[in-house]
Structure 1
Amino acid sequence: MKVLIIGGSVFLGRAITQEALRRGHEVTTFNRGVSGDDLPGAEAVRGDREVTADLERLAEGRTWDAVIDVCGFVPRVVGESVRVLSGRAATYAFISSISAIADFPAKPVDETSPLHPCEPDAGPDDGDYGALKAGCERAVEQGFAGNTLIIVPGLIIGPYENVGRLPWWLTRIARGGQVLAPGDPNRPIQLIDARDIAAFTLDRCEAATPGRFLTSGVQGNTTFGEWLALCARETGSNAEFVWADDAFLLDHGVQPWSELPLWAPDTPGFDAVWLPSSAKALAAGLRCRPVAETVRDTWAWLREIPEEKRSFGNAELRHGIDPQKEAELLDAWLRRAPS
């Protein structure tokens, strides 16, 4: 199969490129060459998807069996890619986000749940991340002359993660000592490895199967406590987890999701953050590896990077709590917690 991957060098895009090459597909990646390294074996075409001339140069004289769009965030930009590539591939697969679903994370969601309102030609200032992803979905479905495949990931972890959720926890736990742990350690969570989404996406492209699939993994495939214990085991850490309840953390200004990555307090608005249904994708062949395997492989990758060179999140959203703030919170919690 001939595959064009828009992106293809960072995290999920890298996983898709790597899996496509492993399967023996002929792979072309299209990106600016500034976010990640090219994988050996793939043809790398440099260009900016926001520049129509670059897209037209990419498409000239070429056809593919599938286009996989990993880095579409603005409907107007995605729509232009769709326009130029329409008729040059049998399938256009777009990697969306569970944030595109209007009811998430307040209610349980699946593929039938309504999306945020957003026009398919919306610009970057016409909505937040989730709304714009919804508009991108509409741009693909309304503009591509062929099969459209929409992949809707939940919380993705795995090697080469550039968001900094699991890498931050691994790094922090590896240092040892008392570690501030959020909420209820028995709270079930739902995680999925980027490599499993990559395999499923390519399975659907190979079968030329259109449709929309929520790929959030298996409900309750671990708990927060089990997950952090896996991090301690893999890093060989002697960390002592100090579990502080949601109310204490919120009262002390800890930001859910970012300062203690993946912490979603048991409060209104987060009621169903770990309850999305991947039943449709699982029935169609999505296979999810154990979380322990993902933690092991992520640490094997991360430990080769010097700690001072590890980066968690981006300029707009940094993941992980400041060490001084963590120490102050630990002290405050231990002074007030019953013995």
Structure 2
Amino acid sequence: MKLLMLGGTEFVGRAVVEAALERGWEVTVFHRGRHAPPAGVRSLLGDRTAGPDGLAALAGGSWDAVVDTWSAAPSAVRDAAGALADRVGRYAYVSSRSVYAWPPAAGLAEDGPLVAGSPDDGDVSYAEAKRGGELAAGAAFGADRTLLVRAGLILGPYENVGRLPWWLNRIARGGPVLAPGPEAAPIQYVDARDLAAWTLDAVAAGLSGPYNLVSPPGHTTMGGLLDACVRATGSDAELRWTAPEELLAAGAEPWTELPVWLPPGETYDAMHTADVSRALAAGLRCRPVAETVADTWAWLESLGGVAPQRPDRSGAGLSPEREAEVLAALAGG
């Protein structure tokens, strides 16, 4: 297989490239040159935000498939897909479950109502951008040649958003750790490497249409994730499990200050109760949480504990001072 990866130097794109190389695929990476691509690829430099001239490097060549993780202006997907439609077999667009109209019902499948979007949009919200990207890919390649990978929370090595790296670094420091309950609350996410493997399998099999792509219900829990962090780091951290209502009363912010965690309610239902039966039937396999956590810690240690951070995302997690404030508030002091 000949694969064109738009991006491919960070997180999900890098996982896709590495998985394709492991399969012996011929991989071309189109990127801006800000980060080195994995060894063994053909590298093309360009900037899809720079208008038609930014795609000049893609003017020649043909590929069996293209994978695109773009999450900004849908017009960039429109332009790339339009330029490639006659020379690429299939378009796999890594979208998001954010495309579902709010609030998505618990257990929502791929046929749920969607947000509005346009392939011609510029600067719009994340949800509208991803929906516009879906429409752009489909308009250029047609429904039968377009695969929409609607991912939820993505974790694993190379993460540049800061969620799992923050938990690992915090737990590695040891001491009392604010642990958001319920401990047994199921969570859904996908390891970037499992997303990559499934996407390449789906492309090779000629699949099309939308697929929710996160772990199945019951894959792990908030407790399972944080316990795995304790084991991976070898820390003496003491997880202080705290009820959601107590955390909220103390002013702790779900998701941002306490990454991955959401209290019961419509936001939790939206993020952690997806119906993924279609992807499972199409071969989705999710590695154990302990493997995702341990591999992410090994990668993080190789960087001296400092993970890369996407410039368009704010850092996640409580500062030590803020955590102390919340713990003190919970203790009544």
TM range (shorter): over 0.9
Partner of 1:86: 85
Which AA in structure 1 matches 2:112? S
Which AA in structure 2 matches 1:66? A
Partner of 2:6: 6
Matches within 5 A, 1:68-79: 68-79=67-78
Q: Is 1:167 matched with 2:165?
A: yes
Partner of 2:186: 188
Q: Using structure 2 for the length normalisation, give the TM-score.
A: 0.94
**CA distance in structure 2 between the partners assigned to 1:114 and 1:176 by the alignment:** 44
Which AA in structure 2 matches 1:330? L
Mapped contact 2:71–2:129 kept (Cα < 8 A): no
Deviation at 1:123, TM superposition (A): 1.2
Partner of 2:331: 334
Mapped contact 1:110–1:214 kept (Cα < 8 A): yes
Partner of 1:111: 110
Mapped contact 1:163–1:314 kept (Cα < 8 A): no
Q: 1:104 to 1:43 in 2, by over 3 A?
A: farther
**CA distance in structure 1 between the partners assigned to 2:151 and 2:200 by the alignment:** 14
Partner of 1:30: 30
Which AA in structure 2 matches 1:177? G
Mapped contact 2:106–2:269 kept (Cα < 8 A): yes
Q: 1:63 to 1:103 in 2, by over 3 A?
A: same
Mapped contact 1:106–1:272 kept (Cα < 8 A): yes
Deviation at 1:239, TM superposition (A): 0.4
Mapped contact 1:5–1:29 kept (Cα < 8 A): yes
**CA distance in structure 2 between the partners assigned to 1:23 and 1:111 by the alignment:** 29
Mapped contact 2:183–2:221 kept (Cα < 8 A): yes
Q: RMSD in angstroms over aligned alpha carbons?
A: 1.7
Matches within 5 A, 1:213-292: 213-292=211-290
For structure 1, list consecutive stretches of 5 or more residues without a partner in the other structure. Answer: none
Match of 1:27, SS state, is strand
Identity of aligned residues (%): 45
Q: 1:262 to 1:312 in 2, by over 3 A?
A: farther
**CA distance in structure 1 between the partners assigned to 2:22 and 2:116 by the alignment:** 38
Deviations 1:78-117 (A, max 9, x none): 1111111111111011110111111455533221112111
Q: 1:254 to 1:100 in 2, by over 3 A?
A: same
For structure 2, list consecutive stretches of 5 or more residues without a partner in the other structure. Answer: none
Which AA in structure 1 matches 2:96? S
Mapped contact 1:104–1:273 kept (Cα < 8 A): no
Which AA in structure 1 matches 2:111? T
Mapped contact 2:64–2:88 kept (Cα < 8 A): yes
Deviations 1:166-208 (A, max 9, x none): 1110000000000011121111111221111101111111122
Q: Using structure 1 for the length normalisation, give the TM-score.
A: 0.93
Mapped contact 2:228–2:293 kept (Cα < 8 A): yes
Deviations 1:217-268 (A, max 9, x none): 1112111112101100110001001122222222333221111101111134
Which AA in structure 2 matches 1:264? L
Q: 1:302 to 1:25 in 2, by over 3 A?
A: same
Partner of 1:179: 177
Say which of 202, 206, 209 aligns to 1:208.
Answer: 206
